Each structure stands twice: as structure tokens, then as C-alpha cells.
Amino acid sequence: MPLQPKDKKPVVLQWQQLQSRMPNEAERMSWRVFHRHGNIGLPLGPQSGLVAIDIDTDDPKILGILDRILPPSPWKRIGQKGKVLVYRYDGQPIVRIKYRDGEGKMQSLVEMLGAGSQIVLPPSIHPKTGKPYYANCELLDVVDRVHPLPPNIDQMLRDALTQAGYQLGSNNFGAVTDYVSTGNRDNTVVSMAGLFARDVLRGEKTLLEACQQIEVAIGQFMAKTYGDNIDPAKGPQKLIEFLIRDVTGPKARALPKGWDEGISAEQREAWGLEAFSSDNETWDAKQIREYFNAHIEKAGVKDSPDAFTGVVKQALQKIASNPNLEPIEEDQLLNYMASVSGKKMTVASVRRQLVQLRAGPIAGANHAEIAEAAARDLVELGGEIRYHQEALWQWRGSSWVRMDEGDVLKHIIEEYGAYKAATRASDHQGILKTIRGLKKAPLQQRAQAGINFVNGFLTEDLELLDHHPDFGMTYTLPYPYKPELAGKCVRWQRMLLDYWGDDPDYGEKVAALGQVMALTLFGKMTEAQTAVCLYGVGHSGKSRVMEIVQALMPAEASTSLPPTMWGDKFGPAQLVGKLLNFAGELSEHQLIDSAKFKQIIAGEVIDAQEKNKPLFTFRPKAAHWFASNHTPKTRDSSDGFTRRWLFLCFTKAFPKDERRVHEYHKIVISEEREAIAAWAVHHMVQLRSQNFSITEPVSSIETKEMLENELNTVRDFLVAFRDRGWLNLGVEAHANQSDQDNYTTFTILWTEYKNFCLGQSASPVGSKVLAKRMQHLQGQFGFKVDKISGPAGHPIQVFRYITLAASRRAAA
């Protein structure tokens, strides 16, 4: 890619995109035409497949240390001092190592440059020496022979330099870049232009100042836009469009004095400002009086009621368009016009005419008319508005954003407060209420699940569509969907291998994690009716995985609502429009309301309310994730609670000295966020082939069985006796027994159960509860609740296909 001549700075806006894609033919042609004399840069990362080690010293001692640690590189570039070596890219972050020199100053020593960075290629000119960079060979000739770096090369270099006595600075990793969509950019340009135009009309800025400021603001905003760029000059163009419309249109706003200060004749012509004349500018009291006097002195004006009234209206229009006239000046002008009329007009009639002119294009006699006008203003300034679930929302180009009703009220007061129907606070609230009614509509008008990436709306079929308001998205992921990166999240996959690689169900765990991440992003976890628990010992990686999942989501798509708040009056409202609820650490003792848990996990319609607002209903779609050292607790002993969990078990605790990199998850996200998202999305293919059934690791099944036993001592008793060989359980275990011998009576089982609980220091349930729980468990364990005829024909409750083993009967 081109750099500025004799410099290291790229000329390409958003050049970081080239870390993961090749430039297209149009870009290459533009570079050859316009930047053929510039320096040459190489973006590092996934596309080039290279990472660079930039050594910024000629100290032979340091070079000797680095040469011993670093693998050999077939390519070496020399600049002012030191050298640059290249290696195979394997997900490395940007790492900068500095040391304190003899004067106590921190100096750059060595950098590892990965994705998001670039190196200057020969024969570019060095900005300080003015001489060309040179290398030992052509990079293209040896690129297939570059070696990988050791996984912990940054720590190896630090350790070696520290042992050699060098005082190093702290770690400094690259940061993640959040993008905005082109739709959001276009929407923002319009909104900013409208607001800057108002500043000009209020006299707070000159037009030149406003144009300069909006161009700078849009240029800064553009740096974060993902996709095609627009010329920042479009900002001033849109601003002037707003200005011309407000001044020459029905609103007939007046330009303040000095609005065009500093504008040249060339700019006036180029910007189309000939549309304005001196009649469009604000007049002071002296100018208005002079205009009035000059026109009434014309022949026949005083004698013609129509002509005289026309002059009065023109003068009143100038008064109405000047908000800065002092009240005393206004009164003097009105009295003067009435007196000159020779009793043709009264002061009261002149004032009524002024009020009517100030009202503008609407009469403003009722709330509905003002509400329509105010809503129209807000749509022009910011985008379409809808009222949904007790809130006003505005379309911002790629997603809906909740409006601050305080800002809406401010607009009503400032723009329409002079109207008769908008003078009191109750009027303002009434107009706001009317706007809600006028704009009432559901956000989602296309029932389609998808992920709202910054570069489009991704469907379940992995088709990327343009953003559209009818998808009802209330968030935009601040990064693009890049399917080509799905297999390139090297650090993430290595991290999972470190955590789970020794587990027999490693593959199942990785598949399950990818699937639930995909369902979370698509907002479909409620269809799976599953909560995710990252469960296991401390310092095993649970929190890091959870933090990476959270980092994939913008703030407006996630929340943190613990299950203890799910039954709260105002708690569930926090789930509206959310994809992820990180519900936190599970309590070792606090119970979860099973009924509310099932309702929310399944995405059933529930009631919600925000403080001081009416009750409404909605269907939550958030995925609920926990990271915990404890299993969940509830009074529900049925499998209706436990089967709604997926446990991703972490069994390997990392000693403190092995947890070398502080906040490692930030490194992974900064380098691989897009790749991890693409990896997760790719699991939708697997889910569709499995009819959206989540892969369940053996360790999750075992944990759920353990949890069911903890919650249900009757089940725990059956499993323990079966596993110890004391109980024959199920039809197959009784295949060779007759109906007279394949059952156990309730009394015998009740006795065995109580003895079991006594040995476990557990409280047994009562006989009625035992009978009820056995009724629930019969399908799961393959026995049947039955009755036989006892002595004197009385029925006796038995459990068919449950018998005590001979050894247990003998012990009894």
C-alpha cells in the first residue's frame, strides 16, 4: 500500500482493513496513478501471513541476546538503526518492549508488530536519513520460508533482557477498533448538518465557522466508518441545504447579522448562497422603521387600505423574524404603525397579526397539529421514529436507538412554545403523548432472525443483507462480518486447547461453545431453552472466556441481571432488546425461582415495567450466561430445571506463575474479535444439520446428573443404589423375572431410602413427597408405579422393575 513520500504514514484511510483483505483493482489503479512517488508499506496480519520483529537498537549486547532468542529469519530490512525481521503470523498481538537507559529515560527497544500494524519496504526513503531502506533479499522470494515464532516469544524476550540487567517498561498491547456503519454515518451527517444550521440561524456560529467545524467533525467520524468513505465536504453541502430550506421555505427563518462573515465571492457562488438576499436577513428596529416610513410615503399607499396593510405585514414579518428585538422596541414599532394608520388599525389588531406571523406555517391551535410538526422536525434531523414498548425509538441508519424524551420535550418547548396550545408544561406533556400515539408501531416488521454487523444484517442462511429498519435491530455490532477469518482465530483456539485440551470431551466442549455463541449472536437461545454455565474450579479460564463473549457485544445488546432479580417488578425490563445477559456468579446458597427461570429461559411472553411508566409485555430473547464455581440451587427437584442448563466444565486450574499475561482476553479480542465472531457464526451450519440441537459434552451430562441428585435425594438414592449394585433398575434388568418377582413395595423402598439419607446426613422427604417424586422419575429410570392386591384384597403400592439385589436383601 502507498505511504506518504519520505514518510511512514499510510495515505489510505482505514488502511487497517488491508490486514485481512487484498486491495481491489480500483484501489491499485488509484495508487499507481496518484501515489507512484510515495513510500511502500506492507500491512501485517492474516492476509500477508506475516508478523515482524522491529529491533530499534544497534547495541551489540542487546542484539546478541535477541539473536539467541529469535528464530532465524530469511529476510532482514535495515533502516536508520537496528533491523526488521519477519516471521509467520500466528495471531500475535502488537507488543512493545521499552527499557530505561542510563539517563533514566524510557527508550524503544523491540516491537512485535502483528495485525493492525505495517512495515516500510525497500526501496522507500527513510524520513530521517533521506536514504533508501534496503534488505538482504526480495521478500517475495523468501516469503514461503519464514519460520513461526514461539507462542510466548514476548515473555521469552522480556525474561532474557531482564536477566541481562535491563530495566523494562510494562506490557503495552494494541487496542480494539470499534466501527460505525455507513448507514449510521449518513444519518449522522444529516443530523449534524441540521444542528449546525440551527446554530447559524441562532447567531451562535457564522456559516463559515459551521462549515469548517462540521467538515472536521465528519472527517473524525469517518475514521471509524466501516465501508466506502464520503467526501467530508458533503457535510457543509447538507448544512447549506438545511439553511436554504429553513430561510426560503415555509418556516421563513431570518438570517442573523454577520452570518456570512468571512465568506468570499467564490464561496458564495460555489455554495449557492445567491438564494439569499438582504430581505432574508434579520433587521433591527431602526431598519424596520426606515423600511416602513419609506414605503408608506410612496404615492397612493396611505390612501389605499390594501397597500397600507401590505406594508404593515412586511414590517411585521421583519419583527417576527428577529428574536433579539427588545420588548420595548417591539412595542414602540407596533404603536408607531397603529398611529400612522390614522385609526385604520389598532395596536391590538397589529399585535394579533404579529402573533399569527410568528406562528409560522401551522396554526398551533391543538396538540395534534404541533405533535405532527415536531415529529416531522425530529424525523428530518435524525431519522424515522417509532413508539414501541413504552419508549420512542429513532432509526440511526443501521439500528434503532432509544430516544431521550427529555430532548423531545426540549425541542417542543424551544420550537413550538410560543403557540397557544404549547404554553404550559401540561401542554408539552400532552404533545409528547400525542407524538407517541402518532408513531406507535412495532420495531420488528420482518420476522427474521439475524446478526446486525456493521457491514450488514446476516441471516441464518449466512446471507449478508443491507440494514433495514423493519428488521427491528436495536444494536449494531461495531465490527464487520468476515467469513474468511473463521479459521484464523489462532489465539482463541489455542486458549481453548490450553483450558480443555486434556479433557476427553474436548471436541464436544469446543463445538458446544461455538454453537451457543452462534445462538447468542442470532438471538435464538430462547428457542434452545438453554442457559449456559461456565462451571469449574477457580483460576481455570472461565472468566476470560466469559469476558471474550461479552466483548463481542456492544453495550446496548447486553445487560447483567442476576436470576434473583428476574422476579422483581422492574428487573425484566432490562432484558428488552438484549442478546446477552451475563447473569454473574451463581450463589452457593441463594435459591433460583424455578418457574420464573423456565419462563425467561424459554422466551415466553412476560410482563415488564420501567419506573414511573406503564406495564407492557414482551418476549425476551437474551441468552443467559453464568461463570461460577457452584451449581445452581432451587427447590425444583424435577428435571424441568436441570435439563435447561448447559455446563461447560473447567477442570484445570492454572498456578499463578503460569498466568503470565495480565488481562490476556483483551489481547485476544484486540487481535481476533472479527475472527472469533466468524468462527462462532460458522457453527450455524452445524446447528442446522443437527436441527438446532446443541452438542452436549459428556461432562455437562454428568454435571446435570450430579445437580439433579443434589436437588432430589430420592433420585440420588436410586442412582447410588444402582451404581453400587444394590438395586436392579429398569425393564432390562428384570427380563428373566416374572411379574410376581419384579417389584419392590413402597414400604421396603421407603425404609431403604430413609436409611440412605441417614448415612448421607441428608433430610429425607416425607412419604407423600417420595411417592410423588417416584411418579416423576419412572420414565427416566424405566420403572413403573403400580399396585398389587395385598392381604384381604387391599391394594398395595409397588414399584415394578425395581428390586433389591440379593446382597442387599441379605444385608437387610
Answer for the pair 449, 623: CB distance below 8 angstroms, yes or no. no
Confidence at 580, pLDDT banded by 50, 70, 90: very high
pLDDT at 467 > cutoff 50: yes
- Render pLDDT for 679-713 as a digit per residue (tens, 0 to 9): 999 999 999 999 999 999 999 999 999 999 989 99
The beta strands (E) that lie in 519-644 are given as 531-536, 558-559, 580-584, 606-608, 616-618, 623-628
Q: Give the mean pLDDT of 67-95.
A: 89
- DSSP letter for 550, please: H
- CB-based burial label for 404 (10 Å; 0-12, 13-18, 19+): exposed
User: Where on the phi/psi map is residue 782: left (φ > 0), alpha (ψ -120 to 50), or beta?
Assistant: left
Is the model more confident about 396 or about 654?
Answer: 396
Alpha-carbon span 727 to 701, nearest angstrom: 22
Strands 580-584, 623-628: parallel, antiparallel or unpaired by DSSP? parallel
pLDDT value, residue 659:
45
Helix ranges, 542-631 (H): 542-551, 594-601
**C-alpha cell belonging to residue 458:** 446476516
Return the closest-CA partner of residue 149 out of 88, 93, 83: 88
Q: Give the mean pLDDT of 83-100.
A: 84
Q: Give the mean pLDDT of 544-554.
A: 92
Helix (H, G, I), strand (E, B) or coil at 292: helix
pLDDT at 565 > cutoff 60: yes
- Would you kindly state where each structural domain of the chain is located, as residue ranges? 15-163, 182-275, 285-359, 367-438, 483-704, 712-811
pLDDT at 293 > cutoff 50: yes
Helix (H, G, I), strand (E, B) or coil at 624: strand
User: Where on the phi/psi map is residue 673: left (φ > 0), alpha (ψ -120 to 50), or beta?
Assistant: alpha
Return the closest-CA partner of residue 132 out of 145, 121, 123: 123
Give the CA angle between residues 313, 318, 323 to the nearest 5°: 130
Is the pTM here over 0.75, yes or no? Answer: no
Confidence at 122, pLDDT banded by 50, 70, 90: very high
How would DSSP label each residue in 230-244? --TTHHHHHHHHHHH
Bond into 123 cis (ω within 30): yes
Alpha-carbon span 214 to 227, nearest angstrom: 20
Residue 70: phi, psi to the nearest 5?
-80, 140
Helix (H, G, I), strand (E, B) or coil at 580: strand
Q: What radius of gyration, in Å, describes the C-alpha atoms of the chain?
A: 37
Confidence at 173, pLDDT banded by 50, 70, 90: very low
User: Which long-range CB contacts under 8 A does 789-798 form with residues at least 24 apart?
Assistant: 796/745, 796/746, 797/745, 797/746, 797/771, 798/743, 798/744, 798/745, 798/746
Which residues lie closer than 8 Å to 552 by C-beta, 6 or more apart?
477, 517, 521, 669, 673, 676, 677, 680
Return the closest-CA partner of residue 73 out of 117, 136, 133, 122: 136
Helix (H, G, I), strand (E, B) or coil at 325: coil
- DSSP letter for 534, please: E
pLDDT at 361 > cutoff 90: no
- DSSP letter for 294, please: H
Is the model more confident about 430 or about 300?
Answer: 430
Alpha-carbon span 234 to 189, nearest angstrom: 8
pLDDT at 174 > cutoff 50: no
Alpha-carbon span 608 to 668, nearest angstrom: 37
**C-alpha cell belonging to residue 215:** 467538515
- Render pLDDT for 526-536 as a digit per residue (tens, 0 to 9): 999 999 999 99
CATH top class, domain 483-704: alpha beta
Strands 400-402, 391-395: parallel, antiparallel or unpaired by DSSP? antiparallel
CATH of domain 15-163: 3.30.2250
Tell me the HSE value of 443 on the side-chain side, using a 13 A CA sphere. Answer: 23
pLDDT value, residue 223:
60
- Render pLDDT for 639-674 as a digit per residue (tens, 0 to 9): 889 999 999 999 988 876 544 444 667 778 888 899
Q: Which residues of 90-124 are buried (b: 16+ CB within 10 A; e: fewer)?
A: bbbbbbbbbbeeeeeeeeebbbbbbbbbbbbbbeb
pLDDT value, residue 661:
45
Alpha-carbon span 712 to 638, nearest angstrom: 8
Q: Give the mean pLDDT of 291-301.
A: 84
Is the model more confident about 189 or about 226?
Answer: 189
Mean pLDDT estimate for the chain: 88
Q: Give the mean pLDDT of 87-116.
A: 79
The beta strands (E) that lie in 586-671 are given as 606-608, 616-618, 623-628, 645-650
How would DSSP label each residue in 357-396? HHHTTS---SHHHHHHHHHHHHHHHH--EEEETTEEEEE-
* 712-811, CATH topology level: Arc Repressor Mutant, subunit A (1.10.10)
Query: How far are the Cα atoms of 243, 315, 362, 419, 434 from residue 412, in angstroms, in the given order?
Result: 20, 28, 14, 10, 12
Answer for the pair 552, 676: CB distance below 8 angstroms, yes or no. yes
pLDDT at 226 > cutoff 80: no
Alpha-carbon span 433 to 715, nearest angstrom: 57
